[in-house]
Structure 1
Amino acid sequence: MSKIKPKTKGCRTFDEILDVEYGTQGTPERDAFEQGAVAFILAERLKEERLKAGLTQEQLAERIGTKKTYISRIENGKADVQLSTLFRIFQGLGKQVKLTIL
Structure 2
Amino acid sequence: MKKKEVITSYSLSEMKDRYIGEIGTSERDQYEYELSMDILGRMIKTARKERNLTQEQLGELIGVKKAQISKLESSTNSATIDTIIKVFKALKAEISFNVKIENQNLQVS
TM-score, normalisation: structure 2: 0.82
Gaps of 5+ in 1: 1-8
**Contact kept? 1:11, 1:17, Cα under 8 Å:** no
1:34 maps to 32
1:71-93 deviation line (CA, Å, top 9, x unaligned): 00111111111001110000000
Structure of higher CA gyration radius: 2
**Structure with greater helix share of residues:** 1
**AA paired with 1:88?**
K
**Counterpart residue number, 2:65:** 67
- Paired with 2:72 and 2:39, the residues of 1 have a C-alpha distance of 11
- Deviation of 1:11 (Å): 4.4
Output the TM-score relative to the length of structure 1: 0.87
CA distance in 1, matches of 2:9, 2:55: 41
- Which residue type is aligned with residue 43 of structure 1? G
SS at match of 1:100: strand
CA spacing shift, 1:27–1:11, aligned 2, 3 Å: farther
> Aligned equivalents of 1:59 and 1:99: distance in 2?
26
Amino acid at match of 1:20: R
- How many residues are paired up? 94
- Identity rate, percent: 32
CA distance in 2, matches of 1:96, 1:65: 20
SS of the residue 2:10 aligns to: coil
1:49 aligns with 2:28: no
Of 12, 15, 22, the residue aligned with 1:14 is 12
Which 4+ stretches in 1 moved above 2 angstroms? Answer: none
